[in-house]
Amino acid sequence: MATLEAPVRPRTTLHHGQFVNEPFFDFRKEENVRKMRSAIAKVRGQLGREYDLIIGGQRVKTTDKIKSLNPAKPSDIVGIHQKAGKEHVEPAMTAALKAFESWSRTSVEERASLLFRAADLLRERKMEFMAWLVFEVSKNWVEADADISETIDFCEFYGREALRFAKVQPPTQLPGERDSLFYIPLGVGAVIPPWNFPCAIMAGMTLASVVSGNTVILKPSSDSPTIAAKLVELLEELGMPEGVVNFCPGAGASFGDAVVAHPKTRYIAFTGSREVGLRINQVAAQQAPGQMWIKRTVLEMGGKDAIIVDADSDIDSAVEGVAQAAFGFQGQKCSACSRAIVDERVYDKFLEQLKARVEKITVGDPAENANMGAVINEGSMKSILGYIEQGKKDGRLITGGERATEAGEGYFIRPTVIADIQPKSKLEQEEIFGPVLAVIKARGFDHAMQIANDTEFGLTGAIYTSSREKIERAIQEFHVGNLYINRKCTGAMVGAHPFGGFNMSGTDSKSGGPDYLYLFTQAKSVGERVS
């Protein structure tokens, strides 16, 4: 495994060739297990360190601190961070505006090179970055691997996309003119990522901004600032100029709101809850004194995702897909399956097999690679347990339904399946963001589609069926941004599955897709008369 002292590559390195997704580790191989345990031991020795704000390259300390805790063992402090307040907004904006003057004019080749070199360094330190996720957000090894692999994918994909954008030509050349089209950066962006994909989503929104020529005020989640600090350190090591990314963990209600409302903020890239996303949209829509543009919002706001299990489906495959999509990373994915809508003809058989499958899921310390770790914090745990109690009243508890106290002091909840949940009920409509699956009986395919679409969200969905006709109908009628056929509704891959949802799931930003960088640029058309 590579060391932290890996040599820094020349600043002009560019990658060529087709984009290929980063491969995952095979933890059936003893060598990979040994390396991962070594990385975990190394990172364990670095827990509890203090990290500064980084504003214009300067390290800043504050009186108030943010303590990032290990959800599986809350007595362990992962990192201590400075807490940015309203007084830090202006310095951060000034630094970002100053950096924008030169960074926006830096060649796209050099900006893309930064991303490609970041990908190389992340590969060398991949297991270390994975280990930080194990401790900070309680991801098991496979989930941590997926997160860092996606981070590498974003580096490689957006670097290539930026180079492609730089070569775009207008569709028509008028006689006697030289016509051209340029995608130019917007300005200073506020990047506000979530804790559930604390490296991939944080890095994706930040790097899409940076490679497009923008500068960033980065406000990571207070539950996961350490992994963000590690990525910013890596970018600095690679020679990213001061002020291009300003690292400012802080409270959403003070620092976050003030950045969103600032007249010089050009756009806001946000992933998180519907409530916060709508609030950002509302604040951004109001013109502040001195504001010269309409602020752009790139919002991804969660889901209430369903998997339809048709009567003619492969039940074994459907059970496996639902179990993985519902309980991977403790159900804390906006793409997670929180509703299984099952045809009444196979309902009992499905529940019987699902119960047996879910009861094989191990709950425990992700450092030991249990199937499920802890949920993110105490408040989340209490909220999830409240939903479970409501579900016990509204439906029939199949398995789970309580804390997994034997797993340790952390915020562990057993994977929970509640059957006979009725459409329009609380468990069927509200995003729980935890290891809770509501199972709903459908009278047939038409009824299943009606239930699936009867929510204000529209992020992911899946259908298990052997009927080509029903597959075609789902493609036409299942109103989600990411639809999967005969596979689980989680695990979108950069390039193959551009990701983003409809309705209250956000602005359908389609991260990891061919039009994502449009959101961080503006098109300038130039027509020059030639003699």
- Determine, yes or no, domain membership for 191: yes
Q: Which residue has the tokens 């981070």?
A: 151
State whether residue 506 is helix, strand or coil.
strand
CA distance readout (Å), 356 to 344, 350, 364, 403, 436: 19, 10, 19, 19, 16
Q: Do 57 and 79 belong together in one domain?
A: yes
Same domain, 150 and 288: yes
Tell me what pLDDT residue 3 has.
33
Buried b (16+ CB within 10 A) or exposed e, 187-216: bbbbbbbbbbbbbbbbbbbbbbbbbbbbbb
Asked if residue 330 and residue 199 are part of one domain, the reply reads no
Tell me: do 186 and 279 sit in the same domain: yes
The residue whose two tokens read 């060391």 is 3
Distance CA 161, CA 154 (A): 10
* DSSP 8-class letter at 520: G
Is 489 labeled as catalytic in the residue annotation? Answer: no
Q: Is residue 529 part of a domain?
A: no
Same domain, 259 and 208: yes
| Alpha-carbon span 488 to 490, nearest angstrom | 6
Active site residue 334: yes
- Domain span at residue 274 reads 50-301+510-524
Listed residue (106, 87, 90, 125) closest to 7, CA to CA = 125
Q: 128, 150, 161, 300: which one is catalytic?
A: 300
| Domain match, 293 and 377 both | no
Query: 328 and 257 in one domain?
Result: no
Is there a domain that residue 198 lies in?
yes
pLDDT at 16: 63
Q: Per the residue annotation, which of 334, 337, 431, 489 is the catalytic one? A: 334
* Whether 195 and 343 share a structural domain: no
94 falls within a domain = yes
- CATH (domain of 61): 3.40.605.10
Same-domain status, 348 and 425? yes
User: What angle, rounded to 10 degrees, do the helices at 445-453 and 468-477 form?
Assistant: 20
Q: What angle do CA 238, 224, 385 make, to 5 degrees?
A: 160
Residues 162, 258, single domain; the answer is yes
Number of domains the chain contains: 2
Per-residue pLDDT of the chain (531 residues; tens, 9 = 90+): 333 333 333 444 456 689 999 999 999 999 999 999 999 999 999 999 999 999 999 999 999 999 999 999 999 999 999 999 999 999 999 999 999 999 999 999 999 999 999 999 999 999 999 999 999 999 999 999 999 999 999 999 999 999 999 999 999 999 999 999 999 999 999 999 999 999 999 999 999 999 999 999 999 999 999 999 999 999 999 999 999 999 999 988 889 999 999 999 999 999 999 999 999 999 999 999 999 999 999 999 999 999 999 999 999 999 999 999 999 999 999 999 999 999 999 999 999 999 999 999 999 999 999 999 999 999 999 999 999 999 999 999 999 999 999 999 999 999 999 999 999 999 999 999 999 999 999 999 999 999 999 999 999 999 999 999 999 999 999 999 999 999 999 999 999 999 999 999 999 999 999 999 999 999 999 999 998
Residue 465 lies in a domain: yes
Residue 15 lies in a domain: no
Looking at residue 15, what is its pLDDT?
62
Are the CB atoms for 353 and 321 separated by under 8 Å?
no
Q: 319 with 353: CB under 8 angstroms?
A: yes
User: Do both 429 and 475 map to the same domain?
Assistant: yes
For residue 449, tell me if it sits in a domain.
yes
Q: Look-up: residue for tokens 């756009």?
A: 267
Stated as kind and residue range, the H or E segment containing 398 is strand 396-399
DSSP character string of 38-106 = HHHHHHHTTTTEEE-EEETTEEE--SSEEEEEETTEEEEEEEEEE-B-GGGHHHHHHHHHHHHHHHTTS
Whether residue 6 is contained in a domain is answered as no
CATH, residue 357? 3.40.309.10
Q: How far apart are CA 400 and CA 327, in angstroms?
A: 12
**DSSP per-residue letters across 132-170:** HHHHHH---HHHHHHHHHHHHHHHHHHHHHHHHHTT---
Sign of CA dihedral 220, 225, 228, 234: positive
Give me the residue label for tokens 């009567």.
Answer: 311
On whether both 326 and 269 belong to a single domain, the answer is no
Q: What is the DSSP string of 204-264?
A: HHHHHHHHTT-EEEE---TTSHHHHHHHHHHHHHTTPPTTSEEE--B-IIIIIHHHHH-TT
CB atoms within 10 A of CB 75: 8
